[in-house]
Structure 1
Amino acid sequence: MESAPQISPKASFPSKNSSLKFLLVIFCLYFVLRAAAYIIFPHALTQASDLTVNNILSAINRERQLRNLLTLNTDSRLSSAAQSKADDMLARHYFSHTDPEGNYIWPKIEAAGYTPYLQLGENLAIEFYDTESLVQAWMNSPTHRANILNDGFRDQGMGLDFGDTTQGQYHSVIVNTFGTLISRSKEQVASKTQIASPPPPADTQPAKPEPQPESESVTELAPPSTTAPVAAEPPPFNINLAIRGDEPTKPSFTVATKKQHETASPSPSELAPQAVTGQKPKFPFDQEQAGRYLTLGLGAVLLVLLLSDLKVALSQKIQKLDKKLNNIVLLLLALAAVAMIYWL
């Protein structure tokens, strides 16, 4: 009677080849999904977006240049106050011209050294993702537009901060400050007075003065000047409006004004202009986050494969050569899994 054929230990261990094939399929699928994520999902907003301080400042000046207005100088003191306001709005999650204690930005500007000033202004915005949509929203708002195109402003500053939306923070906070120093305003008025002189009258003879009594002196009137006199009290500051980019139906609008050397901050009054919206991303996460989720999934699959293959290798008695090869594969899998988890 013939005995049944013996199955060698090598033939009874099919897990090595199947594991390698499964691993190859997983890696191919991973790279395909990463390529798809690169095409479908947007780039990381804080890295690929053109929303930067310099870009916004340049865009503001372009709007002024298109209307033959002087470009604004970037003042570090206005920028310092604006950045402090942006950081505070992001950290304490409020959207207003006043902080939770009711303080305006004006004391921050004075503390930064921008004084004595003739007028100040502030534009706010949150939840914008690119410079073009931000500036366009400001230009579509009459009050923001008035600040940007104010011929009386000579300086501007910019504050920009980004938050983590997964932690409930704003994606972006933008604070644009404007100002004019009193000394600079006086110099400009003097230069205009020297350049613009009244044209001489055409073929007109001066009126003959009426005879005056001998006891009275004749006073000669000076010709009228084309330059308007400087007002003793500067006009109030322009309306400053806050823009929220992601809530077109219920935006938060406030108006803040400030006069020269005013110590008490005025209370904001409510305003209801047209809603201004920013462009909201279509997906809840960006390209880099999608890639990390895929890598995390691959690492989990590799760990499961490592544990199952290790269990089979220890439970079966195989030849020494096969055991060494299997251990090398397990080591490579472990290194790959550890490296990808560390990268996350």
Structure 2
Amino acid sequence: MMFARSLRGLRAGLIALAVMSLGAASAMACSVPATADDMRAAAVTAINAARRDTGSRALAYSADLQDAAQDHACALARRGRISHRGLFGTGLRTRLWWAGYRAALAVENLAAGQSSANAVVAAWMGSPGHRANLLTPGLRAIGLGLAQDGGGRIYWVMIGAAPR
């Protein structure tokens, strides 16, 4: 009995350590373009224009979604490849939960290599799956992250969601 309790305590401690290390991993150097704020604003404006053109409501900015998107963009840039799986193989819902956002609905678009907001939104709108994500009717909020790898390639992460 005592041994089982010790193992549970050890497991809980290891889980807590892993979660705390997420903050350290996020704090690792992440190169963000100097004009990231302008690029992010332009992308959100273009996404909302596309949504309005198709009868969907505009999305409101969410700091929690932006934090989750930025963390994932940094992870992608460090890895040098696109993946919807984050640290420890986590999916979007887990990454949102870690960022403090409880989602009833959530979508994610990724891209790499586009140097402007117009280019990345055009690429997403030109892909049926990405377009469907951007135009999902039930979405209410958006967060956008971008980061550069050592070669200057930009990684984009767009998260759209609706809270619970």
Q: Could you tell me the TM-score, scaled by structure 1's length?
A: 0.36
Whether 2:68 is the aligned partner of 1:81: answer yes
Corresponding residue for residue 80 of structure 2: 93
Cα pair 2:86 2:95 within 8 Å, conserved: no
SS at match of 2:89: coil
Match of 2:160 among 178, 192, 207: 178
Bigger fraction of residues in helix: 2
Percent identity among equivalent residues? Answer: 30
Corresponding residue for residue 104 of structure 2: 118
Q: Distance in 1 between matches of 2:119 and 2:104?
A: 31
Whether 2:125 is the aligned partner of 1:139: answer yes
Q: Distance in 2 between matches of 1:133 and 1:51?
A: 14
- Corresponding letter in the other structure for 2:59: L
Corresponding residue for residue 206 of structure 1: none
Q: Distance in 2 between matches of 1:94 and 1:148?
A: 22
Note closer, same or farther for the CA distance 1:47–1:159 as it changes in structure 2 (3 Å cut): closer
Q: Distance in 1 between matches of 2:45 and 2:81?
A: 27
Whether 2:109 is the aligned partner of 1:127: answer no
Note closer, same or farther for the CA distance 1:50–1:155 as it changes in structure 2 (3 Å cut): closer
Cα pair 1:51 1:129 within 8 Å, conserved: no
Superposition deviation, residue 159 in structure 1: 0.6
Cα pair 1:50 1:131 within 8 Å, conserved: no
SS at match of 1:137: helix
SS at match of 2:160: strand
**Bigger shift: residues 102-111 or 53-62:** 102-111
**How many residues are treated as equivalent by the alignment?**
132
SS at match of 2:115: coil
Cα pair 2:143 2:158 within 8 Å, conserved: yes
Report runs of 4+ in structure 1 exceeding 6 Å deviation.
Answer: 48-51
Q: Distance in 2 between matches of 1:119 and 1:125?
A: 21
Q: Distance in 2 between matches of 1:178 and 1:89?
A: 18
Corresponding residue for residue 16 of structure 2: none
1:117-266 mapped onto 2 (5 Å cutoff): 117-165=103-151, 171-182=153-164
Cα pair 2:80 2:149 within 8 Å, conserved: no
Bigger fraction of residues in strand: 2
Q: Distance in 2 between matches of 1:66 and 1:150?
A: 13
Note closer, same or farther for the CA distance 1:119–1:65 as it changes in structure 2 (3 Å cut): same
Corresponding residue for residue 48 of structure 2: 61
Cα pair 2:145 2:157 within 8 Å, conserved: yes
Q: Structure 2, unaligned stretches of length 5 or more?
A: 1-32
SS at match of 1:164: coil
SS at match of 1:52: helix
SS at match of 2:82: coil
Give the root-mean-square deviation of aligned CA atoms.
2.1
Q: Could you tell me the TM-score, scaled by structure 2's length?
A: 0.73
1:122-171 residue CA offsets vs partner (Å, 9 max, x unmatched): 00000111122211110011111101111111111111112331xxxx51
Superposition deviation, residue 47 in structure 1: 5.7
SS at match of 1:124: strand
Note closer, same or farther for the CA distance 1:134–1:51 as it changes in structure 2 (3 Å cut): farther
Cα pair 2:40 2:117 within 8 Å, conserved: no
Bigger CA radius of gyration: 1
Q: Distance in 1 between matches of 2:55 and 2:48?
A: 10
* Higher relative contact order (CA closer than 8 Å, sequence separation 6+): 2
- Corresponding letter in the other structure for 2:84: H
Note closer, same or farther for the CA distance 1:94–1:63 as it changes in structure 2 (3 Å cut): same
Note closer, same or farther for the CA distance 1:49–1:86 as it changes in structure 2 (3 Å cut): closer
